[in-house]
């Protein structure tokens, strides 16, 4: 076990590679965001983005400043609040495009599913550390899996299948990494796959996208996929230049959120888009290394792994959708896409990850 004395020992140096990757992504993201809002001429959109970013940076430093152990105190209340809010969303959420995903708090519409991500990761890390080898029992495994499943289900009911998928994938990977038995994992995976396909069948818009049935403009591809491809190809090697992208003239829907990578690819070309991917690879690799560093503490290592996987998976899905590798759905690009709570949460998680990078390693306690 990690003792208090051990973790109070001297701190290591901050992970410069990770920190600079995040900083670069954020600044890159601001440029792309500003460009993407040009056509709509919605000035408040950009100012709000700057505001959110400021809060995000504060969240990053909070994450970096606070000892990771301390988060365990608020973990459970936070999760309960999140679940309550998620249910509240289903009851009196704001409906946009046939989906109740937003809750109006004061003047802001917030996407509670983003909050669920951080709450679940913190909770899982906490529980997994507490239970430790008890996870090997099927009953315990089932309990923790159903917590993940329940959260994902609440989000799936909004409906927001992509967010539910991300939540489930991240949560379950943490359980898997924490040492669940392979046979238990397989049982859940198969059931999960069955449920997931059932969900997709239940929502026709999702089914159509996966089956590629909704076709506009008589093209063989989906409209968004086609437009994203055109935008990316139009970027060529060095891109059209910052602010000079053309896809944002209403060719790509939700360009500030779901297709920001295509915009970057168009404005900054292969170099820019390659750079973005490279930065996310750096985040992934560094995150995994941090998780490996803390292998002696289940809490820290699962937390690091969960955060890393969340960031990497979202980025992978977003980029995969933009390049047409994955069927299209709305996934935001961490640190880049516009989304108040998403930026806040991702920055906070990045802060926690950075904190983990320089927190002292737990030592063997024989």
Partner 1 sequence: MLHFRNLRLWRLYLIGIIPLSVFTLSLKTLWTLQIGREGQRLREEAEKQYFSNIPLPAQRGIIYDRHKRPLTVNVEKVEVYQHGSIDEDMYKTLRRYGLSPVKNFKRLAKIGYVSPEYVDSINLINKKYAKRHPGKKTYVLSSHEYWARHAVIEEGHSSLIGYVGKDRYGLYGIEKVLDSYLRGTDGSLPCIKSAERYSSKKFFTLDRERINPIQGKPIELTVDAYIQEIAYAALKEKVDELSAKGGFVIITRPENGEILSMVSYPVKNNENFVIAYPYEPGSTFKIVVYSAALDDKIISPFDSIDTEEGRLRVENRTIRDVHKMGKITWLEAFSHSSNVAAAKLALKLGRKRVYEQILKLGFGSPTGSFLKGQCVPPGDYRKWKESKLATLGIGYGLLVNGLQMVMAYGAVANGGYLYSPKILLNKDPIKIRRALGKRSVKYLKLFMREVVENGTGKKAKVPGITVCGKTGTAMVYDKEKRYYDPKRKVVSFIGFFPCNAPQYLIYVVIFEPKGTPWLMYGGEVAAPVFRKIAESIMWSRLHENI
Give least dist CB 177 to partner 1, A.
5
Least separation in angstroms between CB 281 and partner 1 = 6
Q: Which is nearer to partner 1, 43 or 237 (CB)?
A: 237
Residue 256 near residue 37 (C-beta atoms within 8 A): yes
Task: Give the interface segment with partner 1, choosing from 15-23, 92-100, 117-125, 278-286 (CB under 8 A).
Answer: 278-286
196 is an interface residue for partner 1 by CB under 8 A: no
Question: What residues contact residue 138 under an 8 Å CB cut-off, 6+ apart?
Answer: 181, 184
Q: Rounded distance, CA 80 to CA 93, Å? A: 18
- Going by C-alpha positions, the residue among 170, 158, 190, 146 that lies closest to residue 303 is 170
Among residues 53, 317, 342, 344, the one that binds partner 1 under rule CB under 8 A: 317
DSSP 111-144: EHHHHHHHHHHHHHHHHHHHHGGGGGSHHHHHHH
**DSSP codes, 268-313:** HHHHHHHHHHHHHHHHHHHHHHHHHHTTT-HHHHHHHHHHHHHHHH
Residue 111 binding partner 1, by CB under 8 A = no
138 touching partner 1, by CB under 8 A? no
Among 7, 68, 284, 346, binds partner 1 (CB under 8 A): 284
| Residue matched to tokens 């994938």 | 169
320 binds partner 1 (CB under 8 A): yes
**Smallest separation, CB 181 to partner 1 (Å):** 9
Told to check if 144 binds partner 1 by CB under 8 A, we report: no
Q: Which residues bind partner 1 (CB under 8 A)?
A: 1, 39, 132-133, 135-136, 173, 176-179, 229-237, 240, 244, 246, 249-251, 265, 269-270, 273-274, 277, 280-281, 284-285, 287-288, 291-292, 295-296, 298, 301, 305, 308-309, 312-313, 315-317, 319-320, 322-326
């Amino acid at each position: 076990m990690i003792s208090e004395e051990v973790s109070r020992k001297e701190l290591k140096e901050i992970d410069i590679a990770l920190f600079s990757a995040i900083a670069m992504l954020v600044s890159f993201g601001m440029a792309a965001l500003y460009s993407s809002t040009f056509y709509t001429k919605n000035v408040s959109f950009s100012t709000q983005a700057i505001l959110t970013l400021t809060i995000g940076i504060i969240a990053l430093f909070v994450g970096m400043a606070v000892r990771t152990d301390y988060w365990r105190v608020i973990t459970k209340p936070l999760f309960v609040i999140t679940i309550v809010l998620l249910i509240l969303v289903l009851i009196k959420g704001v409906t946009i495009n046939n989906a109740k995903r937003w809750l109006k708090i004061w003047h802001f519409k917030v996407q509670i599913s983003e909050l669920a991500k951080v709450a679940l990761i913190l909770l899982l890390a906490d529980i997994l550390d507490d239970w430790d080898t008890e996870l090997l029992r099927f009953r315990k495994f089932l309990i923790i899996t159903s917590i993940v499943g329940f959260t994902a289900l609440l989000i799936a009911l909004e409906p927001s299948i992509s967010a539910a998928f991300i939540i489930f994938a991240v949560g379950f990977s943490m359980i898997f990494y924490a040492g669940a038995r392979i046979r238990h994992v397989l049982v859940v995976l198969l059931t999960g796959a069955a449920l997931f396909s059932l969900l997709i069948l239940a929502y026709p818009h999702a089914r159509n996208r996966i089956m590629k049935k909704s076709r506009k403009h008589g093209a063989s591809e989906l409209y968004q996929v086609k437009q994203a491809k055109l935008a990316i190809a139009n970027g060529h090697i060095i891109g059209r230049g910052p602010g000079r992208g053309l896809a944002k003239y209403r060719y790509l829907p939700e360009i500030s959120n779901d297709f920001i990578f295509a915009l970057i690819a168009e404005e900054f070309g292969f170099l820019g888009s390659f750079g973005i991917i490279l930065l996310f690879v750096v985040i992934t690799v560094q995150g995994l290394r941090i998780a490996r560093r803390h292998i002696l503490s289940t809490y820290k290592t699962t937390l690091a792994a969960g955060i890393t996987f969340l960031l990497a998976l979202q980025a992978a899905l977003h980029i995969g959708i933009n390049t047409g590798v994955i069927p299209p759905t709305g996934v935001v690009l961490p640190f880049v896409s516009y989304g108040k709570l998403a930026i806040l949460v991702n920055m906070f998680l990045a802060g926690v990850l950075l904190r983990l990078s320089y927190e002292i390693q737990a030592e063997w306690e024989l």
